[in-house]
């Protein structure tokens, strides 16, 4: 479980560092490590509780768009995490010039988080992403 949190924190840190629209305003501990760990925990809870509801309610649309709607759902999970972090005063936020720009930044961030967490899970031999048989 701690490995999952650290992998998520690493992926969120990569998205925060790579995208100018994702910011860490109030870093706790050296360079915001503690803040990113708390954000990773919130992100994990949001993905475990809210994301299945979104997927169940939009299942037909996900199939209709050949899974592309999952990008928007993942972006919404990042935006919800940003909103919760704002309410808790953590200082991690996704901001843009208008709602469309913010959504695009969230989609880019969710892609970065997905790729970095997949690669990190493979490097750290995490069983969360099992190898597929060919």
For the chain, the structural domain boundaries read 2-123
pLDDT confidence bin for 133, thresholds 50/70/90: very low
Per-residue pLDDT at 121 exceeds 90: no
**Is 24 in contact with 31 (CB distance < 8 Å)?**
no
Per-residue pLDDT at 84 exceeds 80 = yes
134 pLDDT more than 60: no
**Taking residues 81-87, what's their average pLDDT?**
94
Q: What local confidence, expressed as pLDDT, does residue 106 receive? A: 95
Give yes or no for residue 129 having a pLDDT over 60: no
Q: What burial class does residue 33 get, using C-beta atoms within 10 Å of its C-beta: 0-12 exposed, 13-18 middle, 19+ buried? A: middle
Query: Distance (Å, rounded) from C-alpha 98 to C-alpha 57?
Result: 27
pTM confidence score = 0.85
> The tokens of 109 are what?
């961030």
Number of other residues whose CB lies within 10 A of the CB of residue 48: 9
């Amino acid at each position: 479980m701690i490995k999952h949190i650290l992998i998520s924190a690493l992926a969120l840190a990569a998205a925060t560092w790579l995208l100018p629209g994702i910011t860490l305003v109030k870093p706790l501990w050296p360079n915001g490590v503690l803040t990113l760990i708390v954000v990773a925990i919130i992100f994990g809870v949001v993905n475990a509780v809210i994301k299945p509801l979104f997927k169940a309610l939009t299942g037909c649309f996900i199939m209709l768009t050949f899974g592309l709607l999952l990008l928007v759902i993942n972006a919404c999970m990042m935006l919800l995490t940003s909103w919760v972090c704002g309410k808790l005063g953590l200082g991690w936020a996704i901001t843009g010039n208008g709602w469309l720009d913010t959504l695009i930044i969230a989609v880019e961030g969710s892609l970065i988080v997905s790729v970095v967490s997949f690669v990190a899970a493979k490097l750290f031999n995490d069983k969360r992403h099992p190898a597929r048989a060919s």
